Each structure stands twice: as C-alpha cells, then as structure tokens.
Amino acid sequence: MEVKTIMIVGAGFMGAGIAQVGAEVGYQIILNDVSEDAVQRGLGTVTKNLTKNVQKGKLTEDEKSATLARISTTTSLEAAKDADLVIEAVFENADLKKAIFQQLDEICKPDCIFASNTSSIPISQLAAAVKRPDKFIGMHFFSPVPVMKLVELIRGIKTSQETLVTVEEVAAKMKKETVRVKDVPGFLVNRINNALRQEAYKCLEEGVASVQDIDKALKLGLRHPMGPFELADFVGLDVGLNIVKTLYDGYKDPKWRPSLILEQLVLAGDLGRKSGKGWYDYTSGEMKPRTDVEF
C-alpha cells in the first residue's frame, strides 16, 4: 500500500516533530489534538523549526511554505477517514491510547495502518483494542524528532510483514534509519540505556564515584555526548523512573529495581532540568553540582 496521507494524533513535543518530518518529505499531514490551542501550539513548533532552518540556509522560504501547506489541523478524529497511516503520540497512558484507537478503528479505512509512538506500553496490548491487530505497529521516534535519525519499529505478536515493510518505507522516506525490534519491555534503546543508567545509580549508591565523576568518566572514556545523570535530568527523572518501573514489572528481574535516591528525588519534586533541580542544580541558569542534598 502506498501511504500518502498521515494523521498524527497528539500535537505535543513528539507529534509536532513527526508532523514536521512527514510534511518535509511530501506527506499530507493531518495534525490532531484535543483543543484548538494544542494543535496551534504544535503547528507553531513546526513553523518555528522551519523558520530556523530558513535562517540557517537549509531551506528556502518556498520550501517552508510548501511544507506548512501540507499540514492541516483538526480537533476531530473524523478527519482520519482519509488517512493511510495514523501515528499516535498522545500522553503515555494505555487506557487513553486504547480508547483513541478504538474510535479510529470505526472511522478509518480498513487498510489504514495504526502506529503508536509509545515508549513503554506493549504493542500487542494496544493492538488488542482494535479489529486490525495485523495492521498495528510500534513506531518509536526519538527526541527531538527532526534531529534524531532512529526509529525503532516494534512488531506486536500479530503485526503482519506487510505492515512492517510499509512502515519501514515511510520511515525511510522521512529520512530515518530503522531497526526491527521485538515487543519486549523497554524495546531496544531504552532497555540497553537503562541497564547502563542502573549501573551508574548503583555506583553512586555504593560510593564508587560522584555524580560529576561518573558523567565525566562516560563522556571522556566512552565518548558519550552526555553522562547518564546529565541525560536523566534532560529527559526528566519522573519519565526515567516510569521507564525503569516498566522494565522491573516486565522482566521481574531485580536488576531493574528503581534506585531509592531516584525515587526520593521524584517524590521531592526534583525532576531534572524542567523543575530546576535533579541530579544537578540548574537554578542559576547553569548546570552545577547540588549543594543542598548529599547523594
């Protein structure tokens, strides 16, 4: 099946990014969210990114206008009747995602493919909510979507080969690289990255080295662009805690037990960059070691 029109449900951080990369390569995009405010915010993000690209000389004004003209916005799911592919990027909540796909199942053409950008919910669980589980797949983009090259394609137990190949072609057209991944907790990147992060937390708890020195060691010793603590602050400690809880529940293996310090920081409302404090202190506008708590 040739995909021409893609509906993106959820115009937040990820949805806006996916809308941008889709429209840039010629797909007709229908961008959906619950309120006019939310869709306009999403479209505003795309416009801002494209304007920056024009300023940097990566894009012409005409190309920017043509890209934006390929994005229509709506607060109704009914517009999905014209879509060949729906990519869902709403809040990370299984019941919400299932309810949306159940509605889409009634609205969409029988051959329309459903993809979820979930970072942790099993694809087979979401696919069980619809009458087309063979046409359901995980399309896990990374943030920021216009920059990050990877899309993990997660095959649920009933996902067909045809669905996988069609979505692989869409991702390639969006200039993304793909990897095929089984539907296991954490998929591939989050599973491996969290194994490393768990070990970093353990080293801190055992007093092996400080937050700063663990980050420094991995940056200078392994050429990681950010250390595990710096990255955890960037992503959000609440988001990280949810991911490791998913891994712990999924594998029933103590190696995924959430760090007690991490849990305490989240309970205290120190969620990383977004709240001003996490593993580091950002309240001065710069990243500084914390002096108000001892890890």
Ligand X SMILES: NC(=O)c1ccc[n+]([C@@H]2O[C@H](COP(=O)([O-])OP(=O)(O)OC[C@H]3O[C@@H](n4cnc5c(N)ncnc54)[C@H](O)[C@@H]3O)[C@@H](O)[C@H]2O)c1
Which residues contact ligand X (rule: CB under 6 A)? 9-15, 32-34, 38, 89-92, 96, 100, 117-119, 140-143
Nearer to ligand X, 142 or 282 (CB): 142
Distance of CA 235 to the CA centre of its chain: 11
Strands 280-281 and 288-289 come out as antiparallel
| Shortest distance (Å) from residue 121 CB to ligand X | 7
In this structure, are residues 24 and 60 in contact, taking their beta carbons and an 8 Å threshold? no
In this structure, what are the phi and psi dihedrals at residue 79, rounded to the nearest 5 degrees?
A: -60, -15
Handedness of CA 155, 159, 165, 170 (dihedral sign): negative
* Active-site residue, selected from the candidate residues 32, 53, 116, 140: 140
Least Å distance between CB 159 and ligand X? 18
Is 120 annotated in the active site? Answer: no
Instruction: Choose, from 119, 120, 194, 259, the residue flagged as catalytic.
Output: 119
| Residue with smaller CB distance to ligand X, 14 or 59 | 14
Question: For this structure, is 140 an active site residue?
Answer: yes
The sheet with strand 85-88 has its strands ordered as 71-74, 28-32, 5-9, 85-88, 113-116, 136-141, 150-155, 177-182
**Residue least distant from ligand X (Cβ):** 12
Q: Could you give the CA distance from residue 20 to residue 26 in angstroms, rounded to a whole number?
A: 10
Of the pair 15, 133, the CB lying nearest ligand X is at 15
Task: List Cβ neighbours of 138 (8 Å cut-off, separation of 6 or more).
Answer: 115, 116, 117, 118, 123, 152, 153, 154, 155, 156, 181, 183, 187
Q: Are strands 113-116 and 136-141 parallel, antiparallel or unpaired?
A: parallel
The nearest distance, CB 148 to ligand X, in angstroms, is 9
Active-site position among 53, 116, 117, 152: 152
- Catalytic residue selected from 116, 190, 194, 259: 190
| Smallest distance, ligand X to C-beta of residue 114, A | 14
Nearer of residues 24 and 238 to ligand X, judged by Cβ: 238
Tokens of 164: 């996988």
Q: Which is nearer to ligand X, 75 or 210 (CB)?
A: 75
Least distance CB 38 / ligand X (angstroms): 4
List, by residue number, the catalytic residues.
119, 140, 152, 190
